[in-house]
């Protein structure tokens, strides 16, 4: 594991020199049409933002307070008011419709895709996949170190995009932040309940008001999000100026359908690195990619997605040895 300054990213890119074609095409996550369905969890508990969220979604509270919560308040911006209650599980009346110039770009209909691949594997992910690394003093891929080093101690709401079962909530809270989670999969979120305040939503349409959160994290999700560059733009929208995003993802150079990691000391890079296509190809059937598929961006494309979103890359981190499995990035909204 090692921290890197930005200048070293080029060398990493050069190490993964592969030129063949992987012809598999990228499946599109369907946005087929249901009514906006972002759902706030009513059993959330936590301080500050979390308390507001809990008040906004079930517990009695003065009505004006509900928009203090960035997750809840975001649902009130940039689009027509929902017809009945503000979500399927929230008994409160619809939030007031507010629209500002800065939020105008979010005035699209916020459909949650009707399918969430992780619903099918949520129990396996929580009870088998994650248990392999639980209880170890250090995460084998360095995810804990990446969060500690790059997110660090802080205060205020920290939005985890693609929070899954809420595996990292306790650690984020331990660093002083108030974790809030968003995920597409109801199955994954069913395990996250009780670990952090949650909302079901698509990461490209975050139910969060603009410039509301101090920090955001994405942990092992970018390969699940074919529209990750759009997600990064959405993250920029919800971050406060000066707020930071910590991205922890599979290493684009050494992980993917093109990489055979069956010998961890001698990772073989095959065709596909430069193509950036969606694939379910994997060297193992014990992981996630063979079950739900994965997107891939060559290193420069991933870096450019941050820069194009208006996020300034500050620090880098590699986790996993001897050949890194994880590349983590801290980027700041200017
Ligand atoms: C590999 S899991 C990671 C979960 C968690 N961050 C962790 O480290 O355990 C990827 C997660 O991303 C979520 N996800 C995929 N596409 C999404 C999207 N468009 N919007 C929100 N969440 C999404 C999945 O439902 C899943 O929970």
Coil, strand, or helix at residue 79? coil
pLDDT at 113: 54
Angle at 106 between CA 300 and CA 295, to 5 degrees: 35
The C-alpha atoms of residue 198 and residue 56 are separated, in whole angstroms, by 12
From the list 222, 186, 179, the residue with the least C-alpha distance to 204 is 222
Report which of residues 233 and 75 the model is more confident about: 233
10 within some domain: no
41 within some domain: no
171: number of CA atoms within 13 Å, CB side? 20
pTM of this prediction exceeds 0.85: no
The C-alpha atoms of residue 329 and residue 129 are separated, in whole angstroms, by 24
For residue range 118-153, what is the model confidence (pLDDT) as tens digits?
A: 999 999 999 999 999 998 999 999 999 999 999 999
Whose Cα sits closest to atom 27 in ligand 1?
164
H or E, element range at 171:
helix 169-174
Q: How confident is the model at residue 180 (pLDDT cuts 50, 70, 90)?
A: very high
The C-alpha atoms of residue 311 and residue 232 are separated, in whole angstroms, by 8
126 within some domain: yes
142 within some domain: yes
pLDDT at 273: 94
Do residues 138 and 234 lie in contact, with contact meaning Cβ atoms separated by under 8 Å? no
How many domains is the chain partitioned into structurally?
1
Distance 163 CA to ligand 1 centre (A): 6
Distance 221 CA to ligand 1 centre (A): 5
**What percent of the chain lies above the pLDDT cut of 70?**
66
For residue range 292-334, what is the model confidence (pLDDT) as tens digits?
A: 889 999 999 999 999 999 999 999 999 999 999 999 999 999 9
Backbone phi, psi, residue 56, to 5°: -70, -15
The C-alpha atoms of residue 52 and residue 211 are separated, in whole angstroms, by 17
295 within some domain: yes
* Ligand 1 touching residue 234 (CB < 6 A): no
Residues forming beta bridges with residue 98, ordered by sequence position: 77
56 within some domain: no
Domain hosting residue 303, numbered range:
120-333
Ligand 1 atom closest to the CA of 189, numbered from 1: 27
213 within some domain: yes
What are 106's two structure tokens? 């979010």
Strand pairing category for 198-200 and 39-40: antiparallel
* Ligand 1 touching residue 163 (CB < 6 A): yes
234 within some domain: yes
Place of tokens 């960035």: 70
What are 39's two structure tokens? 């759902």
How far is CA 91 from its chain centroid?
27
CATH code at position 184: 3.40.50.150
To 10 degrees, what angle do helices 299-308 and 228-238 make? 30
């Amino acid at each position: 594991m090692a921290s890197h300054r930005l200048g070293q990213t080029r060398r990493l890119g050069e190490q993964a020199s592969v030129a063949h074609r992987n012809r598999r095409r990228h499946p599109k996550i369907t946005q087929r049409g249901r009514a906006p369905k972002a759902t706030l969890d009513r059993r959330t508990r936590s301080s500050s933002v979390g308390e507001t969220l809990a008040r906004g979604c079930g517990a009695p509270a003065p009505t004006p307070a509900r928009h203090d919560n960035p997750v809840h308040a975001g649902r009130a911006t940039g689009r027509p008011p929902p017809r009945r209650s503000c979500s399927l599980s929230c008994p409160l009346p619809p939030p007031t419709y507010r629209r500002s110039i800065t939020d105008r770009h979010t005035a699209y209909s916020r459909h949650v895709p009707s399918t969430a691949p992780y619903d099918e594997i949520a129990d396996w992910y929580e009870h088998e996949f994650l248990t392999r690394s639980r209880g170890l003093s250090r995460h084998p891929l360095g995810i804990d170190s990446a969060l500690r080093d790059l997110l660090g101690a802080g205060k205020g709401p920290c939005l985890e995009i693609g929070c899954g079962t809420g595996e990292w909530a306790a650690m984020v809270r331990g660093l002083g932040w108030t974790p809030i989670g968003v995920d597409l999969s109801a199955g994954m979120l069913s395990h996250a309940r009780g670990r952090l305040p949650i909302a079901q939503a698509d990461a490209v349409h975050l139910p969060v008001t603009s410039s509301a959160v101090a920090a955001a994290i994405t942990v092992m999700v970018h390969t699940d999000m074919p529209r990750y560059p759009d997600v990064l733009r959405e993250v920029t929208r919800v971050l406060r100026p000066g707020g930071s995003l910590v991205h922890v993802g599979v290493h684009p150079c050494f992980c993917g359908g093109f990489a055979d990691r069956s010998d961890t000391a001698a990772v073989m890079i095959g065709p596909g690195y430069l193509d950036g296509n969606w694939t379910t190809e994997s060297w193992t059937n014990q992981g996630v990619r063979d079950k739900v598929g994965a997107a891939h961006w060559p290193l420069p494309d991933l870096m450019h997605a941050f820069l194009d979103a208006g996020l300034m890359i500050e620090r880098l981190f590699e986790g996993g040895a001897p050949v890194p499995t994880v590349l983590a990035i801290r980027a700041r909204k200017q």
